[in-house]
């Protein structure tokens, strides 16, 4: 009995246990300080649903052996373009969302294919090259945002009449469309059912994929290329497909993020967006060589709850707004910790 | 009393996750003594050696109890570095070499000879230049001592396992202040001639006063060169005795606790004339260290064909080339149909299945469970072990049938494990080999190519694996090509034996041909060059 409990704890891992205990402590402090806990919980749920798919995007890239996808910004940009097209044509409601997701998926897959080819040439250094590729594409796209043929006056700079604005508000007919779908309230906590269902559906699809013959081949190619080759698996192709899947998921994740956030941020905004996603999956117990859907789900829940709850609580204890700084510090520390620790522990 | 023993292991016990794998083991080695350690797969031999060498696995899993004494003093060995400084050299069961580096760099790793230069005079030894010349020369000397004529600057990547074994040994004997040399199954991948070279090197080392502790499943060589033998069974040292006072059969019985039937040679040497199942013409394979240069060979339907030869002459290259694992050229015809080379899928589709000699590199997914290792290759290449999700046109892994199959295999091959979900990295070397065998059988091959099938498997299990291969051949009509460095093994089960020399088939012999003929063939002379 006690040994099986110990085994369960071992499986869950010390870092995650620490975070859970920390969260519990924070909740207690929050209640004691009379912070609106139900609102904190509602916010956490929204942020989990909003970021979940982007975290999930890390899974195929790690499984196929290409490491953590630090170049996720490529997919994010594809997602932004999907949003922009829908906004340009004033497509509203669920239809708008679906069109945005489709465009994001196609563009993301295409970009992921090219990116995957690049990664196959730089074996063993995927994560470093990915970071730089991501950075340079974000910078390169700044030009595109200025020159892109978008005409909707809501979207372009008022002065000069050309080039997309820095931050675009998503039209009310599209914003929070998933959040509000089947939404209900219980004990003061708002449950964004549609948003969470979308995340759950993505998890389910990916989980099924990784149990199919194709998904298992991809996993095997990542785990031991020589083994995979001897089973007739084309390892290079699997790595490209892993990257395609990851980038397409990143793109669709971004569409979900934007509709929930209510704004589309362009120019340098996507620059660092891959880092919180990487951090989340690592918190969930993944490593650069192994990541599961479960890691992504657990990581998203822990990371986003931590961010949502920790900040108001610290703010109630020490004055001042440290949210952005804290987020950066937490995610970078997590990445450093996870990449330097030895395989297997943690 | 001081110099009576170079090494004493006193009452050592070790547990892995609550399973006790060593129980109060004691053992002593005199200077100049060759001490053999034998025991079944999973008896705890490698674990004992890992303790002696301070391997991290031991400390990460809770350490051990008991004491290790070196030259009469109690030693606290916390890391391999400590062990090396204390004069212990170790050749591991699984290779510990850096594939990206050259032979010399591997031999001299962490002990590189250096020259002082301008910088180092200022800031100390760490910045001295590598003395490449001395590095090469030292390595050459170590390689010469084990009679190995391989270029010391060749990169290690892709080198055949047989060569790697010798390089590991070269690395250990290059250490000047060696007092105990520990070898975990050093001869498992070597042919008899190579093994006897190695054994004579060990004898010489022992004569110079070094204590040698070695593990082997080849009991013949244990009886031949060891002075003392210790038998380990289920984690307990059940006997220690001088080899002069015992017989091979007694040792084998003590190991497994029952009588062993040695494989009978009676069934080998059949002639079949059911046509050819495989024709290999002008096959060239670029497998580093095992090049094949225009080999011609036909395999008859339903036979067991042996493929022998010294390491480096291409016996491994043939199978690896056919299976599309290394770049190759030539013609391969299976049942009258030409199969494209350099295409693993095509070879698998034609029903060829390969059990690789490189079990950790190619054969296993180390972090995965036993059941997955057995089933996944078949699932991927033969689309088995899949089931539909309800009415949807999507198939996913059928965990239940994978589990059942693994349980069958575990009992069939007597794989010693805690269950089908145990990770294969936690298995002993011989049990990992059994998992590889299970994986190959699961593929239901038409032609089974097995490379070193009994590498690291104990006497009892060896008989089981060989008789299983024989049964597959007899009952299911599977044609088998056995590639082995153990001539004795080939002769006991094959119908014909092809011997390779310098990348070609030098001759095909009858299993009962006299030893001299095999010897000549392996040296590139004699034999009938017919195919
Ligand atoms: N890292 C590990 N974690 C858990 N159990 C282990 C680990 N390594 C070995 N074992 C277990 O310890 C036992 C002894 O293993 P060991 O490797 O010492 O066997 P061995 O005598 O060297 O066998 P072989 O002849 O097959 O090499 C085995 O039952 C094995 O499953
Ligand atoms: Mg062993």
Distance B279 CA to ligand 2 centre (A): 38
- As beta bridge partners, residue B115 has B129
Pocket-forming residues, ligand 1, beta carbon under 6 Å: B 16-17, 21, 39, 41-47, 57, 93, 416, 426-431, 456, 458
| CA distances for A93 relative to A100, A255, A321, B455, angstroms | 11, 13, 35, 65
Cross-chain Cβ contact B365/A224 below 8 Å: yes
pLDDT at B531: 43
Say which DSSP state B350 is in. T
3-state DSSP assignment of residue B338: strand
Cross-chain Cβ contact B367/A217 below 8 Å: no
Return the domain boundaries, chain B.
Answer: 7-94+177-256, 98-155, 276-522
Kindly report the average pLDDT of chain B as a whole number: 84
3-state SS of B262-330 is CCCCCCCCCCCCCCEEEEEEEEEECCCCCCEEEEEEEEECCCEEEEECCCCCCHHHHHHHHCCCCCEEE
Quote helix, strand, coil % in chain B, to nearest 5.
35, 25, 40
Q: Looking at ligand 1, which atom is closest to the CA of residue B416?
A: 29
Q: Could you tell me which chain A residue has the CA closest to the CA of B393?
A: A212
Interface test with A, best of B346, B380, B397, B439 (most A CBs within 10 A): B380
Which pair of structure tokens corresponds to residue A130? 């990915």
Q: Could you tell me which chain A residue has the CA closest to the CA of B388?
A: A212
Distance from CA of B150 to the nearest CA of A (A): 25
Q: Is the pLDDT of residue A57 over 70?
A: yes
Cross-chain Cβ contact A226/B361 below 8 Å: yes
- For chain B, percent of residues with pLDDT exceeding 70: 90
Mean per-residue pLDDT for A179-205? 90
Residue of A101, A121, A111, A120 whose CA lies nearest to A72: A111
Distance B42 CA to ligand 2 centre (A): 7
Spatial separation of the C-alpha atoms in residues B352 and B449, rounded to whole Å: 7
Q: ipTM of this model?
A: 0.83
Closest listed ligand to the CA of B39: 1
Q: What does the CA dihedral A183, A186, A190, A192 come to, rounded to 10 degrees? A: -40
Range A37-40, long-range pairs (CB < 8 A, 24+ positions): A38/A187, A38/A188, A38/A189, A39/A188, A40/A308, A40/A309, A40/A312
- CB pairs A-B closer than 8 Å: 65
- For chain A, percent of residues with pLDDT exceeding 90: 40
Mean per-residue pLDDT for B115-121? 60
Contact indicator for B373, B435 with CB cutoff of 8 Å = yes
Residues in Cβ contact with B16 at an 8 Å cutoff, skipping those fewer than 6 apart: B47, B61, B426
Question: Among A155-164, A167-176, B459-468, which is the least confidently predicted range?
Answer: A155-164
Concatenated DSSP letters for A38-61?
HHHHHHHHHHHHHHHHHHHTHHHH
Write out pLDDT tens, residues B59-82.
Answer: 888 888 888 888 888 888 888 888
Say which CATH topology domain B7-94+177-256 has.
Rossmann fold (3.40.50)
Spatial separation of the C-alpha atoms in residues A79 and A104, rounded to whole Å: 5
Interface test with A, best of B342, B393, B396, B443 (most A CBs within 10 A): B396
Write out pLDDT tens, residues B323-362.
Answer: 999 999 999 998 888 999 999 999 999 999 999 888 888 9
Residues of B with Cβ-Cβ distance to A233 under 8 angstroms: 380
Q: Is the pLDDT of residue B92 over 60?
A: yes
Nearest to A232 among B345, B358, B368 (CB): B345
Q: How many CB atoms lie within 10 A of CB B463?
A: 17
Distance B229 CA to ligand 1 centre (A): 20
pLDDT at A293: 94
Question: What's the gap between Cα B35 and its chain centre?
Answer: 21
| CA distances for A210 relative to A242, B143, B231, B387, B404, angstroms | 11, 48, 46, 14, 21
Q: Is A181 on the interface with B (CB under 8 A)?
A: no
Write out pLDDT tens, residues B210-225.
Answer: 889 989 888 888 888 8
- In CATH terms, are B7-94+177-256 and B276-522 the same topology? yes
- How big is chain A by its Cα radius of gyration, in Å? 20
Beta strands across the sheet bearing B292-300: B292-300, B276-285, B328-334, B337-338
Question: What's the gap between Cα A199 and its chain centre?
Answer: 11
Distance from CA of B288 to the nearest CA of A (A): 16
Q: What angle do CA A236, A221, B401 make, to 5 degrees?
A: 140
Concatenated DSSP letters for A51-106?
HHHHHHTHHHHHHTTS-S-TTTHHHHHHHHHHHHHHHHTT--HHHHHHHHHHHHHH
Determine which residue's CA is closest to atom 3 belonging to ligand 1. B426
| Domain B276-522 grouped into CATH 3.40.50.300 | yes
Determine the longest span between alpha carbons in chain B, in angstroms.
78
A 277-306: CB under 8 A from B = 290
Residue of A338, A263, A262 whose CA lies nearest to A299: A338
pTM: 0.83
- As beta bridge partners, residue B15 has B20
Interface test with B, best of A206, A227, A289, A290 (most B CBs within 10 A): A227
Spatial separation of the C-alpha atoms in residues B75 and B48, rounded to whole Å: 15
């Amino acid at each position: 009995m006690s040994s099986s409990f110990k085994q369960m704890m071992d499986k869950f891992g010390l870092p995650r246990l620490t975070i859970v205990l920390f969260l519990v402590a924070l909740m207690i402090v929050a209640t004691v300080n009379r912070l609106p806990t139900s609102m904190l919980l509602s916010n956490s749920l929204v942020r989990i649903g909003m970021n979940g798919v982007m975290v999930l995007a890390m899974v195929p890239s790690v499984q196929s052996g290409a490491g953590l996808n630090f170049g996720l910004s490529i997919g994010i940009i594809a997602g932004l373009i999907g949003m922009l097209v829908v906004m340009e044509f004033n497509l509203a409601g669920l239809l708008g969302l679906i069109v945005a997701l489709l465009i994001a998926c196609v563009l993301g897959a295409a970009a992921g294919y090219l990116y995957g080819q690049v990664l196959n040439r730089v074996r063993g250094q995927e994560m470093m090259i990915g970071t730089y590729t991501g950075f340079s594409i974000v910078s390169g796209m700044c030009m595109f945002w200025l020159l892109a043929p978008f005409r909707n006056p809501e979207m372009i700079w008022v002065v000069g009449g050309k080039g997309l604005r820095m931050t675009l508000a998503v039209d009310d007919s599209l914003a929070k469309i998933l959040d509000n779908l089947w939404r209900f309230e219980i004990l003061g906590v708002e449950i964004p059912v549609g948003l969470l269902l979308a995340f759950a559906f993505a998890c389910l699809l990916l989980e099924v994929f990784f149990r199919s013959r194709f998904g298992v081949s991809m996993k095997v190619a990542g785990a031991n290329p020589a083994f995979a080759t001897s089973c007739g698996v084309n390892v290079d192709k699997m790595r490209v497909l892993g990257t395609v899947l990851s980038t397409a998921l990143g793109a669709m994740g971004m569409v979900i993020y934007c509709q929930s956030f209510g704004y589309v941020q362009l120019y340098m905004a996507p620059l660092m967006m891959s880092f919180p996603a990487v951090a989340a999956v690592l918190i969930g117990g993944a490593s650069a060589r192994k990541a599961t859907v479960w890691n992504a789900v657990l990581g998203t829940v822990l990371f986003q709850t931590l961010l949502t709850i920790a900040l108001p609580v610290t703010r109630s204890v020490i004055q001042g707004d440290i949210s952005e700084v804290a987020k950066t510090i937490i995610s970078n520390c997590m990445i450093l910790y996870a990449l330097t620790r030895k395989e297997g522990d943690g | 009393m001081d110099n009576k023993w170079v090494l004493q292991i006193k009452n050592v016990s070790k547990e892995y996750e609550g399973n006790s794998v060593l129980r109060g083991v004691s053992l002593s080695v005199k200077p100049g003594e060759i001490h053999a350690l034998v025991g079944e797969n999973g008896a705890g031999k490698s674990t004992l050696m890992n303790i002696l060498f301070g391997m991290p696995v031991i400390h990460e899993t809770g350490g051990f109890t008991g004491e290790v004494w070196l030259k009469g003093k109690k030693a606290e060995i916390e890391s391999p570095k400590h062990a090396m400084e204390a004069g212990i050299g170790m050749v591991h069961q699984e290779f510990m070499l850096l594939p990206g580096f050259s032979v010399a760099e591997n031999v001299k790793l962490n002990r590189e000879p250096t020259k002082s230069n301008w910088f180092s005079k200022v800031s100390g030894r760490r910045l001295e230049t590598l003395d490449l010349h001395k590095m090469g020369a030292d390595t050459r000397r170590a390689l010469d001592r084990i009679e190995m004529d391989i270029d010391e600057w060749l990169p290690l990547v892709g080198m055949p396992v047989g060569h790697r074994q010798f390089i590991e040994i070269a690395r250990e004997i290059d250490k000047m202040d060696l007092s105990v040399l520990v070898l975990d199954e050093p001869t498992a991948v070597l042919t008899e001639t190579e093994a006897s070279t190695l054994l004579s090197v060990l004898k010489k080392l022992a004569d110079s006063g070094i204590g040698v502790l070695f593990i082997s499943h080849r009991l013949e060589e244990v009886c031949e060169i060891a002075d003392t033998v210790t038998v380990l069974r289920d984690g307990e040292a059940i006997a220690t005795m001088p080899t002069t006072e015992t017989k091979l059969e007694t040792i084998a019985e003590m190991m497994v606790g029952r009588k062993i039937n040695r494989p009978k040679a009676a069934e080998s040497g059949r002639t079949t004339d059911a046509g050819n199942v495989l024709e290999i013409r002008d096959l060239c394979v670029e497998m580093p260290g095992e090049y094949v240069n225009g080999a011609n060979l036909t395999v008859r339907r339903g036979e067991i064909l042996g493929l022998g030869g010294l390491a480096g002459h291409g016996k491994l290259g043939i199978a690896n080339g056919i299976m599309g694992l290394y770049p190759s050229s030539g013609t391969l015809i299976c049942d009258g149909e030409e199969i494209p080379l350099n295409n693993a899928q095509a070879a698998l589709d034609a029903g060829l299945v390969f059990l690789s000699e490189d079990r950790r590199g190619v054969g296993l997914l180390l972090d995965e469970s036993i059941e997955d290792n057995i089933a996944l290759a078949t699932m991927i290449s033969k689309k088995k072990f899949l089931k539909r999700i309800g009415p949807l046109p999507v198939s996913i892994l059928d965990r239940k049938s994978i589990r059942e199959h693994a349980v069958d295999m575990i009992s069939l091959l007597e794989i010693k494990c805690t269950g089908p979900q145990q990770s294969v990295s936690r298995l002993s070397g011989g049990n990992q080999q059994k998992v590889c065998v299970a994986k190959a059988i699961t593929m239901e091959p038409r032609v089974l190519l097995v490379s070193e099938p009994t590498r690291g498997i104990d006497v009892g299990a060896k008989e089981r694996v060989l008789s299983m291969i024989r049964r597959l051949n007899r009952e299911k009509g599977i044609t088998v090509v056995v590639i082995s460095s153990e001539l004795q093994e080939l002769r006991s089960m094959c119908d014909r034996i092809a011997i390779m020399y310098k990348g070609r088939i030098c001759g095909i012999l009858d299993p009962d041909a006299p030893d001299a003929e095999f010897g000549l063939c392996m040296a590139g002379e004699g034999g009938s060059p017919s195919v």
